[in-house]
Amino acid sequence: MILNNKNYPLSDLHAGDCAEITEFKDDENRQNFMQRLYEVGFLVGETLEVMHEAPLSLDPMSIRIKDAVYAIRREDAELIQVSSVVRKSKTKA
Amino acid sequence: MLPQDQTLHIALVGTPNAGKTALFNTLTASHQRVANYSGVTVESAEADFYLPSGTRATLVDLPGAYSLRPYTDDEGVLAHALKQNNFDALVIVVDATQPERAIRFLVEVLDATDRPAVVALNMADLAQARGFELDLKKLSARLGVPVISTVAVKKQGMLELPEAIESAMDSRRRVKGALLGKKKEHLTPKEVSHEILAFYKKADEILKEVLKKKGRPDTQSARIDYFVLHPVWGLFILMLMLGITFQLMFNLADYPMKFISQSFDSMGNYINAMHELPEMLRSFLADGVIAGVGGTLVFLPQIIILFSLILFLEDFGFMSRAVFLMDYWMGKVGLHGRAFLPLLSSYACNIPGILATRAIETRRDRIITTMIIPLTTCSARVPVYTLLIAAFIPNTNVFLGIKLQGLVMLGLYAVGALSAFIAGAVFQKFFLRGKRPPLLIELPSYKWPSLLSLGKGLVYRAELFVKRVGTVILALTVLIWVLVSFPKAPEGAPHPVEYSFAAKLGHAIEPVMRPLGFDWKISMAMIPTFAAREVMISALSTVYAVDDVDKSKKEEKLSELIKREWSLATGLSLLVWFIFAPQCISTLATVKRELQSNKWVVIMVSYLFVLAYAAAFLTHTIVTAIMGK
């Protein structure tokens, strides 16, 4: 089910959630990282799926985008805004 | 036909996890060498192969990269090599199961160079199994270079690839930078992201034309990840893997290690029995060269076993999962998740561990990881620990067959690991402030590693070690032998070693070592260990003039002797000293070369020395206070 059409930071999502990238937050200190995100396929309009959260800490999380899976930390996932969140699991946001 | 005597230089480039190294190993049958390039501090492997016309080509395996905008030291090599543009041709390896990313990388790389190039679309079998269909002819036409479908681990496409290289050598490609027009040297971040998007627009156009059918996601890897990254079992499986790895390292290595040490013993005995040689030469060969080299070479099985497991887990795809599982916990002491693999490798030998830090994104994190690596218990420490434990720790039964000696050994490993983490936290807090750089690591599809690749990777690491034995260790052994053999003692002296240079040196540093409970004999034996700690045993044997034809008897005798001669406080103090002291000249040389800095070498030596001195002093003082003199 689609939760609603609001924008969320990717860091609010949990394993099993799918969403679409809507925009990126600006962070002067993490520009290289943002570039790398683009390069591996994190671009506006792409859909992604949260695959796993690390045991106990729930951080980092693994994200499937395109045909690949990447691990990123929640503090960095915050830079990515997503919408149209589809939740498979029953847990609350 | 190209002239026979000309050797072509061909760069092998590719995205990470595309099977580039497997392709390198399959394509080049010959022995691989270490290649160093001007201006590049990272070394790459190179090896030869022949084109169909008989021309010899040297293939240089450059580190994998996601793009030409380097994110790590490793990745910088590709951008640098393309900028220099001094290769005769390029082979570009990309992953056929990720066509989108593959074409993006190809568009960018082919735009950056005007060299002849050939594309190897690797892992074609997996792509086919998952239902991907690509029009290779069209792709080749759009890119302007030959595209060969390959399966490196199954040797598919290995005949076509050299043919394609040969034919590509004659063709001329468009000038570089044609796609985006003239480029400025320095771009603002905004301009860079525009550049990236421009490349991707072009790449996606091509993709639309050539991708006939999109494949299914990799369900098999998802199933394995269900267990490996499981919220409950994930960490447990990781710990189990580590446990098994260390068990195998010690238990499996036992027999080959015995074999090696016995072989060197019989070699020494053989030389000693050759009475036609002058006594001096016999002593030099048997006690100097053979004993010293053999004493270090004996760790080769442990190194081979640990690295075959590490290489297997890495090629299988498990290591990046380990980074995923450990990143949060390593962050507690300021370490990056990527430091996991370098630290694990360091348990065999610190040098490959330090080399592995190249994959860490920022210099700050590379430095922190490198600085704490000497605190991991490398295999050179094990024989010293074994000797001292055997002499000073009673082998009583603690609990259910668990012996005290084994527990103490485990404790030494734990103290090393714990102090590494504490040191990491201290370095981050006081010297290298700042946040950890972001983590972004691919969790690639699981795949069975090719035996050939594992074998070659193993040989490469074994060679690094053997080379060290042949150079540093050999030189030191000779030096020790000279120091303890000259000047000659007068005829009939009871302890000839007391007249030697080594004894004078031992007396000279004794005042410094006295508070730790080390007398001049121990001090003297410790001098050579600053270059390589594993020579401690042969140095002690020489100092105490312990001799026996049988080497295991010799160590037993030595163990008995130090038990009589040293107090418990001295024994434990020396044990603690060996956890911390900076005692490997090769490690220091590697640190200097990798970090390109004298400052950090000095800091490393000083902090380890202070730590070792303080810990040994405390141990000696406390044990003396409890036990009495």
Q: What is the ipTM of this complex?
A: 0.91
Q: Chain A partners of B126 at a C-beta cutoff of 8 Å?
A: none
> Can you tell me which residue has the tokens 């860490």?
B360
| Listed residue (B410, B354, B403) closest to B382, CA to CA | B410
Predicted pLDDT of residue B548: 59
| Distance in angstroms (rounded) separating the CA atoms of residues B207 and B200 | 10
Chain A residues touching residue B191 (CB < 8 angstroms): none
Which residue among B67, B217, B438 sits closest to A39, beta carbon to beta carbon?
Answer: B67
Sequence-separated (6 or more) residues with CB below 8 Å from residue A34: A24, A27, A79, B189, B193
The number of angstroms, rounded, from the C-alpha of B509 to the middle of its chain's C-alpha atoms is 34
Residue A36 included in any domain: yes
Report the SS3 class of residue A49: strand
Q: Do B229 and A57 touch (CB under 8 A)?
A: no
pLDDT of amino acid B447: 86
| Mutation site, B188, B211, B328, B442, interface A, largest A CB count within 10 A | B328
Looking at residue B5, what is its pLDDT? Answer: 66
Asked if the structure places residue A93 within a domain, the reply is no
Domain membership of residue A26 (yes or no) is yes
- The answer to whether A67 contacts B71, with C-beta atoms less than 8 Å apart, is no
- Tell me the residues of A at the B interface, defined by beta carbons under 8 Å apart: 29-41, 43, 51-57, 59-60, 62, 64, 66-73, 75-76
Q: What pLDDT does residue B38 have? A: 42
pLDDT on residue B277 = 84
Quick one: pLDDT at residue B105?
Answer: 92
The CATH number of the domain holding residue A51 is: 2.30.30.90
The minimal CB distance from B328 to the residues A33, A57, A68 is found for: A57
Q: Which residues contact B556 (CB under 8 A, 6 or more apart)?
A: none
Structure tokens at B31: 């022995």
- Give pLDDT tens digits for A16-75: 899 999 999 888 888 888 888 988 889 888 999 999 999 988 989 999 998 889 999 999
- Using an 8 Å Cβ cutoff, are B357 and B336 in contact? no
What is the least distance, in Å, from the CA of B590 to any CA of chain A?
28
Question: B231, A36: Cβ pair inside 8 Å?
Answer: no
Q: Is B75 domain-assigned?
A: yes
Quote the CA–CA distance of B579 and B419 in Å, as a whole number: 9
Between chain A and chain B, the number of residue pairs with CB atoms below 8 A apart is: 115
Tell me the shortest Cα–Cα distance from A71 to chain B, in angstroms: 5
In a domain, A77, yes or no: yes
Tokens 């052994």 -> residue = B477
- Report chain A residues whose CB lies below 8 A from the CB of B337: 60, 71
* DSSP, residue by residue, B168-183: HHH---PPTTTTT-S-
For residue B138, is it within any domain? yes
* Regions of chain B short of the pLDDT cut 50: 1, 37-41
Supply the range of the domain harboring residue B34. Answer: 7-213
The whole-angstrom separation of Cα B577 and Cα B274 is 40
> Count of CB atoms within 10 A of residue A89's CB?
10
Question: Total structural domains in chain B?
Answer: 1
Shortest alpha-carbon distance between residue A3 and chain B (Å): 24
| B405 phi and psi angles, rounded to 5 deg | -60, -40
| Nearest CA-CA distance, residue A33 and chain B, Å | 7
Q: Name A80's bridge partners.
A: A24
Ramachandran class of B452: left when φ > 0, alpha when ψ lies in -120 to 50, beta otherwise = alpha
Name the residue of chain B whose CA is nearest to A28's CA: B189
Report the CATH number at residue B116.
3.40.50.300
Nearest to B373 by CA among B391, B355, B387, B398: B355
Q: What count of other Cβ atoms lies within 10 Å of the Cβ of residue B398?
A: 12
State the SS3 of B60-129: EECCCCCCCCCCCHHHHHHHHHHHHCCCCEEEEEEECCCHHHHHHHHHHHHHHCCCCEEEEEECHHHHHH
From the candidates A67, A72, A78, A88, which should be mutated to test the interface with B, based on the most B CB atoms within 10 A?
Answer: A67
What's the rounded Cα separation, in Å, for the pair B144 and B146? 7
Considering only CB atoms, which chain A residues are within 8 Å of B201?
none
User: Could you tell me if residue A15 is inside a domain?
Assistant: yes
Put simply, the answer to whether A35 touches B222 (Cβ < 8 Å) is: no
**Mutate which: B192, B324, B436, vs A, most A CBs within 10 A:** B324
Q: Is residue B126 part of a domain?
A: yes
Residue-number span of the structural domain to which A44 is assigned: 8-86
pLDDT of residue A92: 45
Q: Which amino acid, one-letter code, is at B264?
A: F
* Residue A72 belongs to some domain of the structure: yes
Note the helical H segments in B337-403.
340-345, 350-356, 363-372, 382-392
Tell me how far apart the alpha carbons of residues A28 and A30 are, in angstroms, rounded to a whole number: 6
| Number of structural domains chain A divides into | 1
**Residue A75 within a domain:** yes
Judging contacts by C-beta atoms under 8 Å, the chain B residues touching residue A31 are: 189
Q: Would you give the distance in Å from CA B541 to the centre of its chain?
A: 31
User: With DSSP H G I counted as helix, E B as strand and the rest as coil, what are the percentages for chain B, rounded to 5?
Assistant: 65, 10, 25
Asked, for residue A76, whether it belongs to a domain, the answer is yes
Q: Select the residue from B107, B443, B445, B447 to test the A interface by mutation, using most A Cβ atoms within 10 A.
A: B443
Under an 8 A CB cutoff, do B325 and A37 touch? Answer: no
Q: Judge whether B36 lies within some domain.
A: yes
Q: Quick one: pLDDT at residue B620?
A: 94
Residues on chain A touching B193 (C-beta within 8 angstroms): 34-35, 38
Query: Is residue B387 in a domain?
Result: no
Q: What is the pLDDT of residue B268?
A: 84
CA-based nearest residue in chain B for residue A55:
B231
> What 3 state SS string does B198-225 have?
HHHHHHHHHHHHHEEECCCCCHHHHHHH
Helical segments of B273-381, H only? 279-283, 291-297, 300-316, 318-331, 340-345, 350-356, 363-372
